Amino acid sequence: MSNKPTAAAIPGNTIGRLSLYRRLLQELLAQGTRQVYSHQLARLAVSTPSQVRRDLMTIGFSGSPRRGYTISELLANIEGLLARSIETSVALVGVGNLGRAILAYYANRQPVRFAAAFDRAPEKTGRILHGCRCYPVSEMAEVIAREQIHVGVIAVPAAEAQGVADQLVLAGVRGILNFAPVRLHVPAGLYVEHVDLMMALDKVAYYAHQQVEQQDSSR
């Protein structure tokens, strides 16, 4: 296989921060700012100048020593990298409380397009929610192929998640964002990102409590 120097497997943490930089740069640009220094971006991202420079170095972007980085160029660079020029089409499975909130949030929001939603319950299918048509699960393979969907978002109950993941994989999806509180097993090479609210809250609660204890013991 021929390895282009461009496709050099950027680590996940860096991708996450680039996603954040993109939002910040979009805001700056909207405010009319043209140039930005690493320390400015770092302050906005609650990070360090070194980290910012290292990240931009990772994607091969260069600034000018006295002027900093040109926002429009940097933004184009990051967007090209994250979106790979074509808009990402996404499918949602599970149009419950969380699923509807997600659809509402991403409605008309670049650069992600929810091209289809799926639900098992007949009363949810057939409608259009926030610009996204809801299909019965039986049509999943067909719709995902037709709409060229490469990413699936799972928002079904925990017991259903693995089954839905299997269906998505079978339908040709390459990456999954999973909100159900179970770890999914997928074939090697496919990418799964877990968003686990219970875990997130446990983390906050743990460190918050630790704070309280340290405060108590230091008096």
Ligand X SMILES: NC(=O)c1ccc[n+]([C@@H]2O[C@H](COP(=O)([O-])OP(=O)(O)OC[C@H]3O[C@@H](n4cnc5c(N)ncnc54)[C@H](O)[C@@H]3O)[C@@H](O)[C@H]2O)c1
Nearer to ligand X by Cβ, of 158 and 212: the residue is 158
Which two tokens mark 157? 């109950």
Piece in contact with a copy of itself (CB under 8 A), picked from 29-37, 53-61, 65-73, 191-199: 191-199
Q: Is the peptide bond before 122 cis (omega within 30 degrees of 0)?
A: no
Task: Determine which residue in the list 5, 32, 65, 189 makes contact with DNA, applying CB under 7 A.
Answer: 65
Which two tokens mark 103? 């659809």
d(CA 59, CA 82): 11
For residue 57, the partner it binds in ligand X, DNA, a copy of itself, none, with Cβ less than 5 to 8 A by kind, is DNA
Nearer to DNA by Cβ, of 12 and 187: the residue is 12
Q: 158, 182 in Cβ contact below 8 A?
A: yes
d(CA 119, CA 136): 6
Could you tell me which of 82, 92, 80 has the C-alpha nearest to residue 149?
92
For residue 63, the partner it binds in a copy of itself, DNA, ligand X, none, with Cβ less than 5 to 8 A by kind, is DNA
Kind of pairing, strands 35-36 and 69-70?
A: antiparallel
Could you tell me which of 69, 72, 19 has the C-alpha nearest to residue 49?
69
Piece in contact with DNA (CB under 7 A), picked from 35-43, 94-102, 108-116, 140-148: 35-43
For residue 157, the partner it binds in a copy of itself, ligand X, DNA, none, with Cβ less than 5 to 8 A by kind, is ligand X
State how far Cα 16 lies from the chain centre. Answer: 8
Nearer to DNA by Cβ, of 85 and 214: the residue is 214
Nearer to DNA by Cβ, of 38 and 178: the residue is 38
Which two tokens mark 45? 């991202």
Report in angstroms how near the CB of residue 13 gets to DNA at its nearest. 4
Query: Which spans in 46-132 are helix H?
Result: 49-58, 71-83, 97-106
State how far Cα 48 lies from the chain centre. Answer: 22
Task: Determine which residue in the list 14, 26, 88, 162 makes contact with DNA, applying CB under 7 A.
Answer: 14
**By CB under 6 A, is residue 135 in contact with ligand X?**
no
Task: Determine which residue in the list 8, 57, 76, 101 makes contact with ligand X, applying CB under 6 A.
Answer: 101
Name the amino acid, one letter, at 126. G
Q: Which parts of this chain interact with a copy of itself (CB under 8 A)?
A: 1-2, 7, 9-10, 12, 15-16, 18-20, 22-23, 44-46, 81-84, 88, 90, 97-98, 100-102, 104-105, 112, 150-151, 153, 173-177, 181, 183-185, 189-193, 195-214, 217-218
